[in-house]
Amino acid sequence: MSGHSKWSTIKRAKGVTDIKRGQTFTKLANVITIAVKLGLSGDPDSNPRLRMAVDEARSVNMPKENIQRAIERGLGKGEGQSLEEVLYEGFGPGKIAIIVEGVTDNKMRTTSAIKNIFDKGGGSMAGVGAVSYMFERCGQIKVKGKGGSLDQEMLEFIDLGAKDVESFDLAQDFTEAQDTQRYLIYTEVAELNTITNKITQAGFEIEKQELIYKPNILVDVDTQENADKVLGFVSRLEESEDVQKVYANFNIPDELLTV
C-alpha cells in the first residue's frame, strides 16, 4: 500500500491542467456515445462503462438533454457522424512516456493533429507497444474520507479488496479545505464496479471511477525549464479537440509545480 506517493504528485500536476482546460460537453458526449455503442445498451444500469460516462457528465452539470442525445446517437437513433476510439503512444520532452486516448469522427485528421503536437513539443509518436509496457491498465476510484484516521481508512479499503491506495488532501487538488482527505483507490479492471459498490456500502462517498493507465516506470524531471516543457506539452495534448485523456510517467517535485 502506498501513501503520499510519486503518482499522487503527478495527479496533482495534471489536476492543475485539467482545471485550466475544463471538460467540454462535446468531449463528454462523445464518450457517452462510444460507451453505448461498445456496451450495446443505452441503460447505465446494465452498461457499466456508460454509467461512468454519465456520472462524469453529471458531475460537471451537463444538461440531461445533452446526455440523452448522446445516448440516442450511440443507439443509432440520432443524427451525427460515426465515432471511433483512437489510442496513441509516444515520447514527450525529456523522453517521458505518453499514452493518448481519443474519440474521433476522422482518424486521419486526429492522427495528423496529435503528431503535430508531438513534433512541435520536442517529442515523437511511436508504434503500438512502444511505451504501454511502462503503464498498467487498472481501475481508479476517487473517494472522500469519512473523517477517520488515515491508516484506519486505508486499511479498510484494502480489506474491501483494493489493490492499492494513495491518499491526498484536496487542497492539493485546488478545490477544498486542507483538512479534506481524499483517496485514489486502484483495482483490477474487472473488479472496478464490484469494489466501487463495496466502498459505497461501507459508507464512503465515491467522487469518480474510471479506467486508467497507471505508470509503473517513472521519469524524474529535475529542472524548472524541463518541468515547464513537460507540463506545457501535456496541456496542449489535453486541449486537442479529439483527445479525451492523456497519461504520462513524469515525476515533478512539488517545488517545480508552478502551473
d(CA 230, CA 224): 10
104, containing H or E segment: strand 97-104
Instruction: Enumerate the β-bridge partners of residue 88.
Output: 100
- In terms of domains, do 210 and 233 share one? no
- How confident is the model at residue 81, as a pLDDT? 66
User: Long-range CB contacts (< 8 A, 24+ apart) of 62-68?
Assistant: 62/25, 62/28, 62/29, 63/25, 66/25, 66/29, 67/29, 67/32
86 and 197 both lie in a single domain: no
210-239 average pLDDT score: 91
pTM over 0.85: no
Domain count, the chain: 3
Do 139 and 207 lie in one domain? The reply is yes
Q: Are 141 and 212 in contact (CB under 8 A)?
A: no
> Among 24-28, 195-199, 214-218, 222-226, which stretch is predicted with the lowest mean pLDDT?
24-28
Instruction: Report yes or no on 113 lying in a domain.
Output: yes
CATH number at residue 168: 3.30.70.980
Res 226 pLDDT > 70 = yes
Predicted confidence band of residue 252 (pLDDT cuts 50, 70, 90): confident
53 vs 18: which has the higher pLDDT = 53
Find the angle CA(32)-CA(233)-CA(208) to the nearest 5 degrees: 35
Residue 45 amino acid letter: D
Range of the domain at 244: 82-129+218-254
Predicted pLDDT of residue 258: 55
